[in-house]
Amino acid sequence: MPDFAAPLGANDAGCPAPIDQSRRAYAEGWAINAAHYERQGLYAQLAERLGPQPRLLDLGCGLGHGLAALRADAWIGVDENPYALAAAADRLGVSASLIQSDLLRPDPALNALGSFDAVTLWFPGTHPARVQDPVVRAHGLTEDARYVVAMQLIALRLAAVRLREGGVVQIVDRAAEDDPAVVAAAYRENLRAMAAGLPLALTEVAVIPYTEPAAGIAVGSARLDRRSRPTWAVSLLLQKGKPRRVATAG
């Protein structure tokens, strides 16, 4: 278990105590999920869908399990939670490439990062006290499912600007459904609608079976229902530039 002692950026004047405590509790809970996913090889399978990349931007990098699995010559990890970033720095052995940033707010630091070959957003979620944030309330993102969709939209719009021509954005979500074909069709339709008007073409939908831990955090998803149904990790690849046929895997 990582050490979740207060990192730089926590307990500062701009962070109310309930939010800071909620951030820490979320990082501790997500460590259970991430370890469970890692043990069953889920991170490695998701990284395989994307393949090696010269320069990668990981949004919502969490505790760094995804970055450890992704194959990139150079990478930047971004997260709002300083406790998660501190654990990621321990895991990856580096902190200089990790940035604390809230994707719901404009951040000049992100604008200065240049272009990337790939952008990733895996399993987005946030701590319960985030609902105290006036920006979260103003946009009606007080439910997990709404927040997840908002993060996916932000990732797509950021990727449309920051990806080089031919670059790829990978969105990973979780779903529960008896038939994986139903999951693939639903996500194909949703992501196409979300990317409408952007220079991004959906190229692959992969539905990967996995299991949730008995404990940990159940990050809300519009299509995650744990009531005795099979669970699936859904990997969606979108390429910047010329559209091509969509492949379905899984």
Higher pLDDT pick, 174 / 9: 174
Report d(CA 16, CA 54) in Å as an integer: 39
Report d(CA 118, CA 201) in Å as an integer: 14
Mean pLDDT of 9-36: 77
Helix, strand, coil percentages, rounded to 5, for the chain: 40, 25, 35
Contact (Cβ atoms closer than 8 angstroms) between residue 34 and residue 46: no
- For helices 17-39 and 42-50, the axis angle rounded to 10 degrees is 90
In a domain, 70, yes or no: yes
Higher pLDDT pick, 12 / 55: 55
Residue 68 sits in a domain whose CATH number is 3.40.50.150
Give the pLDDT band (50/70/90) at residue 1: very low
The kind and range of the H/E element at 167 are strand 163-176
Domain that holds residue 33: 17-249
Q: What SS3 class is residue 137?
A: helix
Amino acid 155: pLDDT: 97
Mean pLDDT of 208-215: 88
Report d(CA 201, CA 112) in Å as an integer: 25
Q: What is the pLDDT of residues 31-85, one digit of tens each?
A: 999 999 999 999 999 999 999 999 999 999 999 999 999 999 999 999 999 999 9
In a domain, 6, yes or no: no
Mean pLDDT of 182-198: 95
Distance of CA 86 to the CA centre of its chain: 17
Contact (Cβ atoms closer than 8 angstroms) between residue 116 and residue 167: yes
Amino acid 144: pLDDT: 77
In a domain, 10, yes or no: no
Amino acid 82: pLDDT: 94
Give the pLDDT band (50/70/90) at residue 16: low
Number of domains in the chain: 1
How much is the pTM?
0.87
Please, which residues have CB within 8 angstroms of residue 143's CB and are 6 or more apart in sequence?
220
Q: What is the pLDDT of residues 129-181, one digit of tens each?
A: 777 778 877 877 777 788 888 899 999 999 999 999 999 999 999 998 899 99
Amino acid 109: pLDDT: 86
In a domain, 241, yes or no: yes
Report d(CA 78, CA 105) in Å as an integer: 13
Q: What is the pLDDT of residues 218-247, one digit of tens each?
A: 544 444 555 568 899 999 999 999 655 566
Mean pLDDT of 192-217: 91
Amino acid 72: pLDDT: 94
For the chain, percent of residues with pLDDT exceeding 70: 84
In a domain, 5, yes or no: no
Cα-trace Rg, the chain: 17
In a domain, 4, yes or no: no
Amino acid 218: pLDDT: 57
Amino acid 125: pLDDT: 82
Residue found by looking up tokens 């404990």 in the block: 215
Higher pLDDT pick, 133 / 11: 133
Report d(CA 172, CA 155) in Å as an integer: 11
In a domain, 9, yes or no: no
Mean pLDDT of 83-88: 95
The kind and range of the H/E element at 57 are strand 53-59
In a domain, 159, yes or no: yes
Alpha helices by DSSP H, 55-143: 65-69, 82-92, 108-111, 134-138
- For helices 144-162 and 180-194, the axis angle rounded to 10 degrees is 60
